[in-house]
Chains A and B, each alone.
Chain A
Amino acid sequence: MLKILKIGTSWQNLWQSEEFRSDVRHELWRNIVVPVLAIIFALGVGALILSATGYNVVKAYGALWQGVFGSKVNVGEAFLRSTPLILIGTGIALAFRCGFWNIGAEGQFYAGAAAGTYVALTFANLPPWAGIPIALLVGFFTGAIWGALAGLLKVKFCLNEVVTTIMLNYIAIGLVGYLVTGPMQEAMRENPQTDEIVRSFVIGRIFPTSRVHYGFIIAVVVAIIATIVLFRTPLGYSMRAVGYNPDAAKHAGINVASSMATAAFLSGGTAGLAGAIEVLGVTGRLFENLSPGYGFEGIAVSLLVNNHPLATIVSGLLFGALGAGSQVMQLNAKVPAVLTFIIQGLIIAFIISFRYLDKNPSGK
């Protein structure tokens, strides 16, 4: 973060400081120039691949552009798809900043989705103003508990959270599989899915012409709150201190176990909230394969911006836009899905590679 956010002094005084100007230049370089260059490089390499495989580069990138900015509907799609990624990315940022390597967002997402669906199906008579917040809160807390389980296993028994969170992913996904073929299966019992949630539980759309719903606003608010918590509260300070050096933090009087468990809880909570929002805002029911890997994509969303919760809004939107654009690229330019995924992957890989080239200390 820039020092302007850390010290109380006037802009004029700050700007006269060579150190501050250097800071600004550096922040601009690493947060704007580097990503833009990375995107140019990736598109360049992508163009070569497209050309070598016999596809029209202009048509393909035209379709990509069209898919992202071609219409209000398409812009809305990018926002819609970024919603779970921003939420999960935010949670991952909190956990990683605390040194808790949460690979379990996928399972936490499923846990939250199942809990949110359960509330929506069981308490279908609740009015929207009560039903939706309750379903989302239950989704948040279920995901949080799922995350906290791994947190407790780490702080109480020193179990490696990478292993436990991955295992908890399998358990959550398996549980959802059981629920949608057993106790929560649709009344017709034909397909492995729940019944559709009632209309009063569906999260409303922000604009009538686009599918983006209020879940996006929630995601942005959560990212802002997470940023404030992380950088402006004693809890956030403790979490970051533990992430830097748990031994030093312990000697400074910080409760390392509590910080880590809290980080795991909050990280799982945002993923659980994402799951509940996905059901209430997009799918309308729970089924297996609800997530295409949001939990893992969320890790990339967070790492891309050095685990900064606020910046996950930008990286989440980037991922969302690429997803929306690649769909239209397949349709209009007849580019196979694999090539569109390669181009998406190249963009991310180049951004991360460029960050590695940047020898400056990582922004904390």
Chain B
Amino acid sequence: MERKSYKLWVLVAALVIISMVLAQCAPAATPAPQQPTEKKFKVGLLHPSPITDAWSGIAYQALKRIEAELGAEIANVEIKSPAEREKGFIDFASQGYDLVIGHDFAMQDAAEKVSKDFPNTFFTTTGGSKFTDNYAPIDLIPGYKQALYAVGVMAGNITKTKKAVAFTMELPATKIPLEGFQAGFNSIPGNSCSMVILKDGNDVGAAKEAALQAIADGADILIANANIAGTGVLQAVAENEGKVWGIGTIGDQTSLAPKGVLVSATLNVSEALFSIAKAVKEGTMKGGQVRVFTVNDPGVYDFVYNPETADLVTDEMKALLQDTLNKIKSGEIKVE
């Protein structure tokens, strides 16, 4: 009897819910018939994590800018599993999207495969090495290596102990740019920059311990490009302010060591994605290649100086960095 009564309750509640849903589903005001308009530029984004996450958030910012400045119709889909990638590209392309951005190097196989079936849609991925006539992945690493070379030259002129340590992981995307810093720092005679490979990009504590060890060994310039673990290096800098200085990477990291960061070399992925969308809209985007970004691409690589360390990063030092950049741009200095 008891069971029957609760079943009845459940059924009644179901009916209530259904009626509520039906009420919600009441037809809205009939929209006015639309006038035939010019085909709208449509851009889709596939991102691997929620847009509240820093990495996907960058791409979402670019998408919103594409909507605002290029007047594009936009949509974004979060990709949870590898199985969803190919379908994500197909869904966008089959609905006539002009550009589909896959914000993950791991999406390159799917982009390459789908691009062959949808020649009227352009595809790009953040990272990747494959390409087709209408698919070109973007490679931001070469330009970032160049930018960090220039920072290395400047830091090489600021150091007192002539020693720097770069912390990274055994990943080309994080390691190669720091090789640029290393080369720039070592270009000053007598300087020595070593590289420490961190095992875990999430282990902030281990990175901090490694940084403290480097400080004990006499290094006075530290730089990290190692995901979250990199913050541990700047924490060590913050604890040794006045005698050790840090370089921020990817974003502005001044807040992690307010009196210790000399400069942050920022990587504006959002700008790169925007420039791709702009080129697609203007019909100048070329497939069949990896779209390599360098310091010649405006707005993608930038430098945020810390006013608290202006006594070290003087105008003269800033000019030195800019001069090095100009030489890289002109080909006088080759960073390879």
Contacts and interface: CB of A to CB of B under 8 A. Distances in A.
Interface of A: 29, 37, 40-41, 43-45, 47-48, 51, 56-58, 73, 77, 80-81, 181-182, 188-193, 196, 211, 278, 282-285, 287, 289-292, 294, 323-324, 327-328, 330-331, 334, 336-338, 354, 357, 359-360
B310 interface: no
A287 B106 contact: yes
B80 interface: yes
Contact of A47 (B14, B24, B82, B92): B24
Contacts of A334: 75
B24 A331 contact: no
Given A44-B17, A57-B21, A324-B87, 9 more contacts: A44-B21, A47-B25, A191-B129, A282-B82, A327-B88, A330-B76, A330-B77, A331-B44, A337-B78
A285 B209 CA distance: 35
Interface centre among B18, B76, B83 (most CB of A within 10 A): B83
Contact of B3 (A73, A182, A323, A359): A359
Contact of A283 (B10, B11, B44, B82): B82
B17 A41 contact: yes
Contacts, number: 107
B13 interface: yes
A189 B86 CA distance: 24
A264 B94 CA distance: 44
Nearest to B78: A337
Interface string B57-99: 0000000000000000001111011111011101110010000
Contacts of A193: 106
B172 interface: yes
B106 A354 contact: no
Contacts of B184: none
B177 interface: no
B179 to A, nearest CB: 14
B87 A327 contact: yes
The main secondary structure of chain B at its interface with chain A is helix
B50 interface: yes
Contact of A77 (B18, B48, B77, B87): B87
A182 B170 contact: yes
B20 interface: yes
A44 B15 CA distance: 10
B109 interface: yes
B50 A331 contact: no
Nearest to B91: A331
15 contacts: A29-B7, A41-B17, A47-B21, A57-B25, A58-B25, A190-B172, A191-B128, A191-B129, A192-B171, A282-B83, A290-B82, A294-B81, A327-B88, A334-B75, A354-B10
B107 to A, nearest CB: 11
B105 interface: yes
A330 B20 contact: no
B260 interface: no
